[in-house]
Structures are given as C-alpha cells and as structure tokens.
Amino acid sequence: MDSNTIKNNILAKKSFLCIGLDTDLTKIPSHLLADEDPMFAFNKAIIDATKDLCVSYKINTAFYEAQGLKGWQSMIKTLAYIPKDIFTIADAKRGDIGNTSTQYAKAFFETMDFDSITVAPYMGADSVQPFLAFDGKWAIVLGLTSNEGAYDFQYTSSEGEKLFEKVIKKVASWGHEDNLMFVIGATKAAQLKDIRTMIPNHFLLIPGVGTQGGSLQEVCINGMNDRIGLLVNVSRQIIYAGNESDFAQKAREEASQIQQEMSTYLS
C-alpha cells in the first residue's frame, strides 16, 4: 500500500485513526473467556464495530506472543480478518543485525503479510534496511517516543543536535516516503513542529493520544502536511471503552467521537 492510497483512504473516511489491538486477556469482557479463541473473538467484534471509522489497525505483538502458540494463531487470524483496504501495522519493534532483520522482515511481510512493522534503529543502517527491501511494505522507525524513558537517551545532545534529531535525519536518507514512516509520540507535540520541518513529506505514526494524554489538536496543528501525513493511534481508550456484552458498541462510540474530531481537521 503506497502513501497515495493511504491518503485517499483518509479522505474517503474523513479519518486518520489507527486503532491499536493491544488485546489483554485480563482486560477483555469476562464472558469472552469461554470462547475457543477469546483474543480473536474480542478483536473480531472490535473490527466489525470500527472498520468504517479507521484507516489502520496496529497489532501489538507482545500481547499475542505472551500467550505462546495460541496467541500467534489469534494474531494471524486477526490479521486475516482485517479488510484488505485497511493499513496493518505489526507493532513488534524489531531491529537486529542484517541477516536477522531479514528473517524478521520475511516473517512479518511474507509469512504474515502485514503492511508494515515498527523498527528500532539503535543498531544502525544494516538493521533497518532489510525492512525497506520489500515492495509495498513499510518500516515505521522509532523517532521520538512518548514514554518517560525517552529522556534517558533521546534528548541527549552532541554538537548542538539531540540524538532523536540525528536519528530521524539519518534514517530518512535510507528510504523514501513510500516505505518509511516514523513513530513520534503525541505527548511530544512541542517537538513535532520541528520534526515536521526535518521530514516534511513522510507519514508519522502518532501514539499517545487519549489515555496517555496527548492532544489531537496539537498533533494536527504541528504535524499535518499537504498529504495529511498522520496516522494517530488510539488503543486502550477505544478497545476497553466497555467491559460488558455491549463492549463493541462502546468501542464504536469512542472511535466515532475521535473520527468526528479528525474530520474537522480535514475540512
């Protein structure tokens, strides 16, 4: 899926919402636990209720890996159930020496057929470039994250340049606007405007709106470009909006509110 397709989907749905399927068996409605595959049953209901309101689903692989083989099977079933016109993200944060990254890329792009995968760039070019070698697939590289620990390393300076700035500039030279995105936390809105000047045309995956306290308005003001250029991820606020038998409807209501606000920034 290329950037023009993503943009057209955004305009058609008046939404740049990415819904995170961070499916935790300890948080899903208890009645689903009797199902043969509780994780997939939960995800299926969420997808059915929200697929017309979002342009992307992000599957956080840790929640599935924690359940062993059954979790992997639930993840694969979930991926297959997502409509093909919706952009899929494996939130796996992979990144290793070149031959290992190549195997990760094959696993997520060929075996499982995700559209994209999140990648940690700490090990440098040879750990990222294997993910950029697949036509129609994307590496979504960690640029500036929303967690408190971001201040441990990402803001350290050398010769007047912060580490996250150096990473974004360097990584941008390894790919192009149709195979490379960056993760920029919504809670870092003060830096987002400057980041946008560094990478004016790339899509940005923005987590941190909602439960983590990021402002959608600030993200749009500072991060939107002439191709929209944003996928804003919301996970817990949507998928755990309800915990009774009407949980999917509650999720839809929450997603609809966010989509409606997004539509105002697209008009």
The CATH number for 251's domain is 3.20.20.70
Q: Give the mean pLDDT of the chain.
A: 95
Q: Is 110 exposed, middle or buried (0-12, 13-18, 19+ CB in 10 A)?
A: exposed
| Residue 28 predicted with pLDDT over 80 | yes
Q: How high is the pLDDT of residue 212?
A: 65
Q: How high is the pLDDT of residue 147?
A: 87
Q: How high is the pLDDT of residue 186?
A: 79
Average pLDDT over residues 212-230: 89
Q: Is 202 exposed, middle or buried (0-12, 13-18, 19+ CB in 10 A)?
A: buried
Q: How high is the pLDDT of residue 180?
A: 98
State the residue range of the domain holding 49. 3-266
Average pLDDT over residues 84-113: 97
Percent of the residues in the chain that have a pLDDT greater than 90, as a whole number: 91
Residue 224's pLDDT band, with cuts at 50, 70 and 90, is very high
Least confident of 109-118, 181-190, 244-253: 181-190
| Residue 219 predicted with pLDDT over 90 | yes
Q: How high is the pLDDT of residue 159?
A: 85
- Residues forming the active site: 93
| Residue 210 predicted with pLDDT over 70 | no
Residue 53's pLDDT band, with cuts at 50, 70 and 90, is very high
pTM: 0.96
For residues 181 and 141, the answer to whether their CB atoms sit within 8 Å is yes
**Contacts for 194 with CB less than 8 Å, ≥ 6 apart:** 165
| Residue 123 predicted with pLDDT over 80 | yes
Tokens 């016109």 correspond to 85
Q: How high is the pLDDT of residue 189?
A: 73
Q: How high is the pLDDT of residue 213?
A: 67
Q: How high is the pLDDT of residue 214?
A: 74
**Total of domains in the chain:** 1
Average pLDDT over residues 122-134: 97
Average pLDDT over residues 39-59: 98
Residue 211's pLDDT band, with cuts at 50, 70 and 90, is low
Tokens 């290992």 correspond to 100
| Residue 215 predicted with pLDDT over 90 | no
Q: Is 49 exposed, middle or buried (0-12, 13-18, 19+ CB in 10 A)?
A: buried
Q: How high is the pLDDT of residue 100?
A: 97
